[in-house]
Amino acid sequence: MKILVVGDIVGAPGRKAFAQVCAALRSEGRIDIAIVNAENAAGGRGLTRALGEELFEAGADVLTTGDHVWDQKEIKSYLEQEYRVVRPLNMPPACPGKGFTTINTDFGPLSVVDLVGRVFMGTKPHDCPFRTVDALLESKVLPDGPIFVDLHAEATSEKIVMGRYLDGRVTCVYGTHTHVQTSDEAILPGGTAYITDLGMTGSKDSAIGRDLKSITEMFLTGMPAPFKVAEKDVALEGAIIDVARGAREASSIERIRVKVPECHE
């Protein structure tokens, strides 16, 4: 089974890039499943029901989120009704939705866990991601089969430690949130595929997907400014992980970046 994991989709350019690249990879037989971080799909802030459905129609099988999950009010009911969309598991348990899901595939069940980091991630009351994922794995609620963990976090150290901490217990640990792809993809000693950050799916002629002019003005003046989604030089970033049928460990991980022209509104 070949699973595509996609870095944070930013706005309409990112959504359109995902649709084009996912369709091409499926037609070429390079992927069977797509797990997509939709944290910034709605104009760079959160996810809506309509955009979630758009991404599923474009080929996504599971959508993960992160610290911007509550930016769009309608996401609460969508999370409660759509099991393929998850919010970070280590948010307070009273939050709507779930932090993990299992989908049935032609290769058997596949589980996806969403976590948010705590280092440099503001003052929101997130529980410890390490203890939270420990409790989930020890509960045995996840069926046999691959387990993918999206750690939406700022600090590379937090992501690196999580990868080693879960090595041999899950199939893949990958980082999201920074929108900058790292080049450290590897199969760890215990068989877990790992990469510190997948990058993003959106404009590369930007500041993490946002228009450079407004971001530059903010840095020069210190004044708040509206951040438009950038539209030029669009690419999909992520990785493809290969898992043998019935296996928990990964066989390989391939980092990818695919440029897609003309993906603006």
Distance separating alpha carbons of residues 151 and 136, to the nearest angstrom: 15
The upper half-sphere exposure of residue 144, i.e. CA atoms within 13 Å in the direction of its Cβ, equals 4
Tokens standing for 12?
A: 């309409």
Buried b (16+ CB within 10 A) or exposed e, 149-187: bbbbbbbeebbbebbebbbebbbbbbbbbbbebbeebeb
22 Ramachandran zone, left/alpha/beta (phi>0; psi -120 to 50): alpha
Cβ–Cβ under 8 Å, residues 18 and 57: no
Calculate the CA dihedral of residues 160, 13, 110, 66 and round it to 10 degrees: 50
Tokens standing for 142?
A: 């996840």
Distance separating alpha carbons of residues 136 and 141, to the nearest angstrom: 7
Give yes or no: 126 in active site: no
Q: What is the CA radius of gyration of the chain?
A: 17
3-class DSSP state of 255:
strand
**β-strand 172-176 against 147-152: which pairing, if any?**
parallel
* Residues forming the active site: 68
